[in-house]
Structure 1
């Protein structure tokens, strides 16, 4: 609510660096329709990988980790059978939350939607999700020595529903007015949602999942093909630091949103750059077999699996990768170790 009380004052003057990155984002957005028309197979492949990365990364940020990657993938695919641990249950819950935003018509944006996302997040556990907090909460850091430091104080439980409803109403109005850049409005909505902290647990995951939905709703769909959650996990310290800096004095309507908005805009711009690189590589005249050969000889680790090449070269089939690996084997460049899915490949020692 606080961020949307006076948008002209708060974000009327956009820092030059943020302006430049917003231009990069809008340029990237302009290419989405072209890529969707020209590179449907690549986008399908990227979407599948981004989904897996997002579910695993957003969960891991909260300490929810399934150590076995193959087991995690089966959970995400819905093929794991009985979920054995709380972490597996929560991973499956985030899968449901993210899939709902990407695959269903979830609009309109209201309190009921936010409650439903929370309910989905906990739907595989014994907890009863979908309810706002009933007790005041604090966001704290716990040091290894047991010291507890309060990072910020969320909105009191008694005011949570009214603050949340007001935030979503103001956000909808601001997007409809189209006076300020829609990406800045999405970033502010996420910031306010996290300060309101409407739930006893699961606030970060609900906010990150909803970020994807709001971006797609605003016409910025790169989060379908490049995992923002993975980018956040890779820069977790900066993520938390910028959020903390932009929550100072929020309750007094004196917060500085630009540390957080600068990070948010840069993360999104970087995602578009990644998307453009992968699209350009797929559209280039390079033969796919040549791309596999170049990657294996110059970029892959000395010992690698076929799956590693698949991840590095989305849009290249396993059949093509195997063909090149067999060719390099016959040339004495690679040597196989093991068979089946566990098979690994080792480059000749004379190669870098």
Structure 2
């Protein structure tokens, strides 16, 4: 007898197993960071929460498409989301049917967590994903319907010598397999023995392995994961974008999927990767909200200070950090560039900010004096159980 090549050929498919001991540490880390994220998000002002939720949803949409190599019109998608969330969008622009569909899909997955999953809902997601598909795709696909009878393979390499990375279950019996998945997805939400975060990881792996559509399986899988995470903790999903963390390790994502789909029904390696990536997503959100709260505290402490518009602009740049900050410190030349003032004015403004305690001088000499914001640096300590950065299938 030929041994199974693909996981779905295993006699007991899809009865997945995993090593609970190996997953205990990364699962605990995710739970701890998720709890801290919820606590910090609750301390943020309502308007900040709304803007952060918009940015998170936008990132999930854009990055999920980028994983598949599709570059979206970010402004159009943002405008579609902002309108649905009732938020003002200063850079509002004309939206497209594609952007509208993606916004509908993301909001349905994250805002309607209590609505049961059924085939009709999945098919609607597929229609939203491929709204205006005639304009987007070089060949037609079955929009809003399960895939056809052709073999569904993920391949790469030369046309005459393709490498088959994965082959999905055959079309015959696919409806029954999708129904089994949907039944499990709805019933498992009440399974107290299955941690909700592990449930999201199992759902992701199971659905992407079924590959039930001609196209869009990865994007719908990630939307389904967002739904599972929203069901686990509705507030937390508003603040972290898992697709961004998957995109950051796209090669690792495909590598562990391929290895796990060719293996037995023990999916411990996949779940380790999933939890590590979820932890990264939650930690990124934690740092982002920490910066927002630090910025609010800074301006509250200096609310009585008389500052010029140029000084406020530069301070906000410092507070925003990241790409918008000055990692090596602020110099008079930086100040000139950002504030668009003369060298003499920049020097005078910096001296005034130093006297008022808004900035502090960095140690060291050199040709240019450097400054940093005079506020506690945002910092999120690592949880006690550190996450491995090694690829479990390497």
TM-score by length of 2: 0.66
Which position in structure 2 is the counterpart of 1:21?
Answer: 26
Matches within 5 A, 1:156-195: 156-195=170-209
Give, in whole Å, the separation in 1 of the partners of 2:329 and 2:61: 26
Q: Secondary structure at the match of 2:173?
A: helix
Q: Secondary structure at the match of 2:133?
A: coil
Q: Residue 300 and residue 177 in structure 1: after superposition, are their counterparts in 2 closer, same or farther (change >3 A)?
A: same
Q: Secondary structure at the match of 2:189?
A: helix
* Pair 1:260 & 2:277 matched: no
Cα RMSD of the aligned pairs, angstroms, is: 3.5
Q: Residue 193 and residue 174 in structure 1: after superposition, are their counterparts in 2 closer, same or farther (change >3 A)?
A: same
Q: Residue 4 and residue 128 in structure 1: after superposition, are their counterparts in 2 closer, same or farther (change >3 A)?
A: closer
Give, in whole Å, the separation in 2 of the partners of 1:245 and 1:69: 33
> Contact 2:52–2:239 (CA<8 Å) still a contact in 1?
yes
- The count of residues paired between Structure 1 and Structure 2 equals 304
Which position in structure 1 is the counterpart of 2:360?
Answer: none
Matches within 5 A, 1:1-352: 5-6=14-15, 10-11=17-18, 13-16=19-22, 18-39=23-44, 40-66=46-72, 70=75, 73-74=78-79, 80-81=93-94, 83=96, 90-104=98-112, 107-126=115-134, 129-143=143-157, 147-219=161-233, 221-249=235-263, 254-284=264-294, 287-288=298-299, 290=315, 292-293=317-318, 295=321, 298-299=326-327, 325=339, 330-331=345-346, 350=368
Give, in whole Å, the separation in 1 of the partners of 2:297 and 2:341: 18
Bigger Cα displacement from structure 2, 325-334 vs 52-61 = 325-334
- The Cα offsets for residues 136-193 of structure 1, whole Å up to 9 and x where unpaired, read as 4333232267641111111111211100110121233333121122211211111111
Q: Which runs of 5+ in 2 are unaligned?
A: 1-7, 84-91, 135-140, 300-311, 331-337, 350-366, 371-394
Q: Residue 152 and residue 328 in structure 1: after superposition, are their counterparts in 2 closer, same or farther (change >3 A)?
A: farther
Give, in whole Å, the separation in 2 of the partners of 1:280 and 1:243: 33
> Contact 1:243–1:259 (CA<8 Å) still a contact in 2?
no
> Contact 2:114–2:231 (CA<8 Å) still a contact in 1?
no
Q: Secondary structure at the match of 1:211?
A: helix
Which position in structure 1 is the counterpart of 2:373?
Answer: none
> Contact 2:76–2:95 (CA<8 Å) still a contact in 1?
no
> Contact 2:80–2:99 (CA<8 Å) still a contact in 1?
yes
Q: Residue 173 and residue 333 in structure 1: after superposition, are their counterparts in 2 closer, same or farther (change >3 A)?
A: farther
Give, in whole Å, the separation in 1 of the partners of 2:266 and 2:228: 22
Give, in whole Å, the separation in 1 of the partners of 2:231 and 2:48: 22
Deviation at 1:332, TM superposition (A): 5.5
Deviation at 1:221, TM superposition (A): 4.4
Q: Residue 70 and residue 33 in structure 1: after superposition, are their counterparts in 2 closer, same or farther (change >3 A)?
A: closer
> Contact 1:29–1:220 (CA<8 Å) still a contact in 2?
no
Q: Residue 157 and residue 5 in structure 1: after superposition, are their counterparts in 2 closer, same or farther (change >3 A)?
A: closer
Larger RCO (CA under 8 A, 6+ residues apart): 2
